[in-house]
Amino acid sequence: MHEPHARELDAAPVLALTVWQPWASAIAYGTKRIENRSWPTDHRGLVLIHAGRSLDPNAHDAPLARPFLRRPFPRGAVVAVALLDGCHPDDGYCTLWSARERWHWHLTAVTALARPLFWPGARGLWIPPSGLLASPLVADALEAARV
């Protein structure tokens, strides 16, 4: 896995990733630091974590999801900023959050927004519009994640 240098991370564009609930809340407010995807990414840098409007239909059967299913969770909102600093194929059991036969996207420096910012999402890694990045809620979280 290529370890990004600070200059590479500062130069990388900020992207966004829509994640089904309750997993977006598990990233923003819990300990989930692996996002499981069927595809790899070369992106290294800050990503907005966007809570999608959909609920993962398998979440009710996942013990790690239970704490997040018991309380209200936002849908259709940016909930956090994270540093995506690595991506690797399934290598066994790297964390409790890792899914088999998936790409594991490693997240660090997760900073929850002071409150969810309702905004439409998109599929895949998407480019957030400048209006979203300029929002004080997002700007504050981006600054905190950069430290």
Specify the CATH number for the domain of residue 52: 2.30.130.30
Domain tally for the chain?
1
Model confidence over 65-75: pLDDT tens digits? 988 888 889 99
pTM score: 0.91
Share of the chain above pLDDT 90, in %: 74
CA 11 to chain centre: 19
Is 127 inside any structural domain? yes
Is 113 inside any structural domain? yes
The rounded mean pLDDT for the chain is 91
Is 1 inside any structural domain? no
User: How high is the pLDDT of residue 6?
Assistant: 54
Is 38 inside any structural domain? yes
φ/ψ (deg, to 5) at 6:
-55, -40
Element (H, E) at 27: helix 23-29
Model confidence over 74-88: pLDDT tens digits? 999 999 999 999 999
Which residues lie below 8 Å from residue 26, measured CB to CB, with a gap of 6+?
32, 64, 65, 68, 97
Q: Which two tokens stand for residue 111?
A: 């900073």
CB–CB of 106/34 below 8 Å?
Answer: yes
